[in-house]
Structure 1
Amino acid sequence: MTERLPLFPLGTVLYPGLVLPLSVFEERYRQLMADLLAGAEPYRFGVVAIRDGQETAPTGVPGGSSALAGLGPDPARSLFEVGCTAEVASVETRADGGYDLLVTGTTRFRMLSIDVSGPYLTAETERLVEDPGPEATVLAQGVERTFRAYQRRLAGAREATIAGVQELPDDPMVLSYLVAAASVLSTGDKQRLLAAETASTRLSAELQLLRRETAVLAKLPSLPAVELGRQSFNPN
């Protein structure tokens, strides 16, 4: 089963169940939104992370003035092939003709082909199955403990929490995506977590990444760690 989706390339990774604010200001993406709003709800598009080139900026992120121009002559080589479908939770039209959106990640997809002929990119996609995998519950317990230690180290204080993460979900799949979104990692690392075939694979990778990052943070002065702890994410 395939689906054609308009694409919104970003310099960040969206995960199922997480929310993301977006500011739409480029003409091509204004057209994308106009086309979506002219159709039936739910309004959906695909968010794909950029390997290189400029991004279309989320709210509060500077730069990103030309997503398509920044992707180079072959967008397929500049974009990761696994993305996440974004469903528009709220939309406001600005006086300048742009849009302020709040979107929720729903399902992962793999791009089969990209069409560059229109005003914005579209792709033929196939939905990826969500599989817990073996020992997901046991791995989730280890990730939760390790993530708490990482939180404390990142915040620079034993009682502090990161970006309002106080209670973690019991569901291993949901936990795997929440931890991926809340951790301060490179786009490449975050993309590998999104593309993991099972929750078990994702959780196992998170254990390694969190241990690595916690060890790195232990060697840093407290000020950078506190500043990193102020980065935000949006759990649904």
Structure 2
Amino acid sequence: MSARLPVFPLGTVLFPGLVLPLHIFEERYRALVRHLVELPEGTPREFGVVAIQAGWEVAPTGPDGRPVPGAGDVTLHEVGCTAEVRQVTELPDGGFDLVTVGRRRFRVGDVDAESAPYLTAEVQWLPEPTDPDESTALLATRVISVFRQYLTLVRAEDQELSEQLPEDPTVLSHLVAATAALTVDDRQELLAIDDTAARLRAELRLLNREAALLRQVRAVPVPLRELGSPSTPN
């Protein structure tokens, strides 16, 4: 089953069930918000969030403040997630602050940059398993254990998150993918995986990789701030 959606290119990856606050200031996306607000009551107010593969999140402007023709072109990743608008705050300058929540994954088809001020795309909805089997549940238990160890290495204040991890394997897989310190490419690969068990196995590999790197950095016998400082000739 397919549909046509407004598309919002971003430098991040959205996962189902995760909250994404947005500050809308570009006119083309203000037009998108106005379109969503004007939809009939009861109609889902959602648009597609797709991570940018190449290009700019904000269209570059020239000296006159207008967008540079062609400079706002972006190349999108193939898989995105819809963002359902839960709260809209209109700002005095005409912009908006939104609170959105990821809802469902899709594969991007034909992209249209001409029919509306913002991008739209034909999308194909992707399956999301709802009844995990026993092996998937066991994988989820392993991911919870490894993720808790990872959080202790990243920062102690994540203790609250560690104690509130969901038991549902699919929800857990999305939360781990969104909150671990991964690259956009890593997150994009996880979003594109249809099977929860396969996503959890991929996360185990990534978490073990990241934990090993963190332990290695902690073993370096110099202050971390010096590692990020440019060398001097003296």
Normalising by the smaller structure, the TM-score range is 0.7 to 0.9
- Give, in whole Å, the separation in 2 of the partners of 1:12 and 1:128: 19
Answer yes or no: is the 8 Å Cα contact 2:3–2:123 preserved in 1.
yes
> What does residue 138 of structure 2 align with?
138
1:53 and 1:67 mapped to 2: Cα distance? 13
Give SS of 1:14's match: coil
CA contact (8 A) 1:88 1:102 kept: yes
**Displacement after TM superposition at 1:131 (Å):** 2.5
CA contact (8 A) 1:55 1:67 kept: no
Contact residue 55 and residue 70 of structure 1 kept, 8 A? no
The residue that corresponds to 1:126 in the other structure is 124
* TM-score using structure 1 length: 0.82
Which of residues 152, 158, 161 is equivalent to 1:161? 158
Q: 2:79, 2:89 → 1: CA distance?
A: 28
CA distance in 1, matches of 2:4, 2:33: 15
In terms of mean alpha carbon deviation, does 193-202 or 215-224 score higher? 215-224
Superimposed CA distance per residue, residues 58-114 of structure 1 (whole angstroms, 9 cap, x where no aligned partner): xxxxxxx97995553xx4xx1011100110010000000000000000000111211
Q: SS at the partner of 2:145?
A: helix
Match of 1:18 in 2: 18
Count of residues in Structure 1 that have an aligned counterpart in Structure 2: 211
Q: Deviations over 1:21-69 (max 9, x none)?
A: 0000001001111111111232110000001222149xxxxxxx97995
Q: 5+ residue gaps in structure 1?
A: 58-64, 226-236
Q: Distance in 2 between matches of 1:224 and 1:127?
A: 44
Compared CA separation, residues 80 and 43, structure 1 to 2 (3 A): same
CA RMSD of aligned residues (A): 2.5
2:91 aligned partner? 94
* Distance 1:71-1:194 versus aligned 2 partners, 3 A rule: farther
Structural mapping, 1:29-40, within 5 Å: 29-40=29-40
1:214 aligns with 2:211: yes
CA–CA separation in structure 2 for the residues paired with 1:116 and 1:163: 43
Partner Cα distance (1:20, 1:45) in 2: 12
Q: Percent identity?
A: 47
* Structure exhibiting the larger radius of gyration computed from Cα positions: 2
Inter-CA distance 92–24: structure 2 relative to 1 (3 Å threshold): same
Q: 2:52 aligns with which of 42, 50, 53?
A: 50
Q: How far apart, in 1, do the equivalents of 2:101 and 2:69 lie? A: 23
Name the residue aligned to 1:84. Answer: 81
Which secondary structure state, in structure 1, belongs to the residue aligned with residue 54 of structure 2?
A: coil
Is this contact kept in 2: 1:55–1:66, CA < 8 A? no
Aligned residue number for residue 188 of structure 1: 185
Shift in Å, 1:162 = 5.9
- Runs (5+) with no aligned partner, structure 2: 60-65, 226-234
CA 1:180 to 1:89, structure 2 compared with 1: closer, same or farther past 3 Å?
same
SS at match of 2:211: helix
Q: Which amino acid aligns with 1:86?
A: A
